[in-house]
Structures are given as structure tokens and as C-alpha cells.
Amino acid sequence: MTQVKEKRVGFIGLGSMGKPMATNILKAGFPLTVYDIRKEPLAEMEKLGANIAKSVKELGKVSDTVVVMVLNYPQVKQVIAPPDGLLGGMRRGTTLIVTSTISPLEILEVDRVAKQHGVEVVDSPVSGGHERAVEGALVLMVGAEEKAFKENELLLKAMGKHIYYTGGVGKGQTVKMINQVLVGSYQVAAAEALAMAKKLGMDLNILHGIISNSLGDSAVWRMFGPRMIARDFEPKGAINTMSKDMLSIMQTAIDLGTPVFISSIPYQVFRMAESRGLGEKDCAAIITIFEEYAGIKMSD
């Protein structure tokens, strides 16, 4: 296995999740080259000691392993597509780690194209949100050939605390999709519960503490409940990201012929929030839809 100090890592996508993940890779001692279309995060990463690539192709040329953390499948395709994308620069025998959340079928297509260029794919979506990304405490769900997983395990551990090997390429995205089925449902349920409690005149902070120690508790309740109560909508996990994930769930369910009675509701709520201009706000901002229909505000 290539030692930490010798493995040259490239990182593309320095958003709310990507920048702290890249920062933790630097802290772990990996030589790091980064790329983003925005100048501000590039300047921040350069101050921390990262090298800056002028293009994704240039980044591919100087990296042994490249981590891609962009929003969706169209962006993943744009980043990797030869001749000007990553696969136009990466050498045979190098590795592409996709941490973006896309569908299982989409990551299999990425794998097919990458193999034509002699590049190994590691399918590794993450869960935990911005705070856990900063702490290096993300959950990584890894789908890959076991050899590729082992060769990149130290790098994966630099980004996350809980690393789960799920099987071959596609299995990581499968686990992430099922996780998002539950997360989306919990977020909408939390908003619905808080709106009802507010209408009943309950002190929401007292309520949150009680539910956090009751059967209604969840990681989503503990993380998003206080944000909804405080109406803190600074984006740590944006609505447009969750909306994209819920759309992928719905499309996959249709393709598979599986029922999605519950998931169809979060899908509609997040799409509604996007249509109201809330796409770049935190997922906690879906509480505003429930406030509107209930005729209350959390802050009243």
C-alpha cells in the first residue's frame, strides 16, 4: 500500500462538504492539489498548504488518487469526461473516488468509462452533514474492488470516522440512497411535529429535550430540530441537494417498480421549497412551509 506521505491526492469541489473534507486530508499529511470553479475556497486551501490546479485535467495528471465532491451526476460527468476532464489527464493505475451522491446506475456508468482509461473507481458517498465533515467524523459507505478499498483506506479515514465497506462499485450509492429515504422522511416529520407543537403552545426547546430522550428521537431530530426552532437557515446541507437526492430516489423506485408511499411526500416538500427560492438554504428551511400552512412562526 502506498504510504500516506507518498500518495498524491487531488480534490475537486470545495463546497460546504468538500472544503472541510479536503482540509482534513491535508491535516492527515497527504500532499494535496485542489480545484474549484470559485476563487475564494481555492485561496483558503492555498493558505493551508494545498497546491492549486488550473484545470481538472491538470489535477488528474499530478494525482495518484482524485476525490470528486460535486453536486450531481451532470457535474460528475463534466468533471471526468475526456479529453479535457479528469480521465484526459489521469494515468492508468490511478484511482477516482466519487463522494458525490448519485444513483447506483450512474456510478456504474462512471466505472465503465473510467475502466476504459485504466482508472479504478471507488464509490464512496458520505453522510453526516457539514459539522461532521469539519470534525472528520463522516460516515463513508464504500463500494469498490477490495484491493482498491484497501489501497485507499487511510485516505478515506482522513475524511471520515466510520468507514463501511459495502461490496463492489454501486453498493456505496445504494446504501446512501436508502439512508436518504430515511433522512428526507425524518426531516419532514420533524418540521410537521414542531409546527403542531407550536400551534399547541408548547415550549419547543423543552419539547426538543424530551423527544431527544424518547422513542421519537433520531439524529435528524437532534441536528435539525434546533435549527428549525431557531429558524437558522444558513446552509450546512442545502435544500437543492436533498431535493436532488429525493428525485433520484423517486426515479430509481419507478425503474425498480418498488413502492415509495412515504418518500413521495418529502420529494414534494423539498421541490416546493425549491420553487419558493429556498434551494440554497439549509434543509431546516422547510419549516417555513409548515409555518405558512399552520399560520404560525417558530419565533413568535
In angstroms, the CA 191 to CA 262 distance is 15
Do 159 and 274 fall into the same domain? no
Do 190 and 239 fall into the same domain? yes
Which of 114, 141, 169 is a domain's end point?
169
Report the CATH number at residue 211. 1.10.1040.10
Report the CATH number at residue 122. 3.40.50.720
Which of 111, 135, 169 is a domain's end point?
169
Is 3 among the domain residues? no
Chain position carrying cell 464509490 = 123
Residue 4's contacts (CB-CB under 8 Å, 6 or more residues apart) are 28, 29, 30, 154, 155
Structure confidence by residue, pLDDT tens digits, 176-231: 999 999 999 999 999 999 999 999 999 999 999 999 999 999 999 999 999 999 99
Q: pTM for the whole thing? A: 0.92
Residue 7 annotated among the catalytic residues of the structure? no
Q: How far is CA 138 from the centre of its chain?
A: 10
Question: How many distinct structural domains can be found in the chain?
Answer: 2
| pLDDT score of 1 more than 50 | no
Which of 169, 199, 231 is a domain's end point?
169
Do 17 and 149 fall into the same domain? yes
pLDDT for res 5: 61
| pLDDT score of 2 more than 60 | no
* Annotated catalytic residue within 19, 57, 176, 198: 176
| Structure-derived torsion over alpha carbons of residues 106, 164, 259, 110, reported in degrees to the nearest 10 | 0
Is 2 among the domain residues? no
Is 300 among the domain residues? no
Do 146 and 191 fall into the same domain? no
Range of the domain at 268: 175-294
Do 42 and 113 fall into the same domain? yes
C-alpha cell at 275: 420553487
From the CA atom positions of the chain, what is the Rg in Å? 20
Do 250 and 236 fall into the same domain? yes
Do 134 and 191 fall into the same domain? no
Is 197 among the domain residues? yes
